[in-house]
Amino acid sequence: MNSLAGLRALIGGALLALAASQARAEGAFDIPADAHFNPQKLEKVGEFFRNEVAVGKIPGAVVLIQQHGKPVYHEFFGVRDTVTKAPMTDDTIFRIFSVSKAITSVAAMTLIEHHKIKLDDPVAIYIPSFATVSVGVEKKTANGEKMIDLVPLNRQLTIHDLMTHTSGITYGFYGESLVRTAYTNARIYDGDFNNAEFAERIAQLPLSEQPGTKWNYGHSTDILGRVIEVASGKSLLQYDKESLLDPLGMPDTNFYVTDPAKQKLLAKPAPNDSNYKVGFDPEVVRKWESGGGGMLTTMSDFAKFAQMLLSGGTFEGKQYLSPKSFELMASDHIGPGSGVARDHLYFPGDGFGFGLGLGVRTDPGNAKPPPPGSLSELKWDGASGCYFVVDRKQDMFFVLLEETPTERQRIQKAVKQLIYEAMEN
């Protein structure tokens, strides 16, 4: 009898799971009464991702949409590892790459609030080697070859420059300028180095332009991470944990995964889609804690960080940023009148300015029709495809976690379009 009862329970559980799966497939979501989403239109998000998995474009993904503090859509697609076939879950650990920049920037703002650093502080106060950096200006020799002419700074680069990506510090793994080539040739990722050593390597290289004159994506946030260490007297992870991660309840957000049980939770890209350009094996602990691109997180963890941003710097009754500090982060610092130029490598994109570590929607943009979203929305993404949008006008955020460096831009654009098409005003 016990065996028969157990078998019935097992069959019953399987039927319930199947019914739940069918309900999701049919768009029968448990949407809160005050949410402004159409369930049938929202199901197109699921259709999109199920197709992506079915045709082998991605191994899997996790998507969360939250409005008015409640989940509106929370779904799992595919697997976290094509070898083990383990399913996606809320505790699946993702390498988030440049989404790390948002966390590091908020950590820096907490130090500014405690008067440990100031936005107009020269970086050289914390890392003296930056007092003597030069700007690399491309010139042609008499025989027409390009060369770098090193010229002195017009002014010292500042914390504000680091947080707005106007420091002149760049990346060497994309673009064709001679300064970028110098980054590549310097082999700045060789060996097992810490944040202090990495900052010294960057300080020996020329800046790509004068501070404050151009938005240029690069290692600025990694240098900001070192500033945090010097100002706080702690490692970057220690300060992150004390100021943000532990109070928010983000136990699985880290730079490396050492626990064998946790390593099984790592999301992995498809075997033919693993070139992230930069980054190390997260299962092998190194000294470097890359505030610009080295963090890992879960949906369970990151949803709390996103809600804190949506709530203007507060979460579950605790204030992490004052209203003034939050608005400073969430306001455009590089728009008209700022003197900051942009080029074809301006990643925030059409209609977006840039705040302190976050893209900020400033206008509809030039596309017809304009891309979806609200003015003042905040966003960022990373090389793995992880992506988040915080829309304060709609009191909504969404987070996409995935591991697909080659498919990410197409998927991010598509999922945002589908989410906003499902929204009812």
Block residue for tokens 């809160």: 32
Flag whether pLDDT at 190 surpasses 50.
yes
CA-based nearest residue to 66, from 418, 386, 310: 310
- Residue 18: pLDDT band with limits 50, 70, 90: very low
pLDDT (average), residues 89-104: 98
Same domain, 304 and 415: yes
pLDDT (average), residues 69-78: 98
CA-based nearest residue to 108, from 172, 158, 168, 171: 158
Instruction: Tell me, yes or no, whether 409 lies in a domain.
Output: yes
The rounded distance, in Å, linking the Cα atoms of 24 and 16 is: 12
Q: What is the pTM of this model?
A: 0.92
- Residue 167: pLDDT band with limits 50, 70, 90: very high
Instruction: Tell me, yes or no, whether 314 lies in a domain.
Output: yes
Same domain, 371 and 405: yes
pLDDT (average), residues 68-89: 97
Over residues 33-58, the pLDDT tens digits come to 888 999 999 999 999 999 999 999 99
Flag whether pLDDT at 21 surpasses 60.
no
Print the domain residue range for 321.
34-105+249-421
> Residue 260, preceding bond cis, omega within 30 degrees?
no
Residues 6+ apart with CB under 8 A from 423: 36, 37, 38, 394, 396
Instruction: Tell me, yes or no, whether 217 lies in a domain.
Output: yes
pLDDT (average), residues 392-414: 97
What pLDDT is recorded for position 309?
98
Same domain, 302 and 178: no
Flag whether pLDDT at 66 surpasses 50.
yes
Same domain, 218 and 136: yes
pLDDT (average), residues 315-331: 97
Same domain, 76 and 142: no
Same domain, 259 and 358: yes
Residue 275 sits in a domain of what CATH number?
Answer: 3.40.710.10
What pLDDT is recorded for position 144?
83
What pLDDT is recorded for position 29?
60
- Report the number of distinct structural domains present in the chain: 2
Over residues 112-164, the pLDDT tens digits come to 999 999 999 999 999 999 999 999 999 988 888 899 999 999 999 999 999 99
The rounded distance, in Å, linking the Cα atoms of 337 and 321 is: 27
The rounded distance, in Å, linking the Cα atoms of 188 and 206 is: 13
Flag whether pLDDT at 99 surpasses 70.
yes
Instruction: Tell me, yes or no, whether 257 lies in a domain.
Output: yes
Instruction: Tell me, yes or no, whether 319 lies in a domain.
Output: yes
What pLDDT is recorded for position 68?
97
Flag whether pLDDT at 102 surpasses 90.
yes
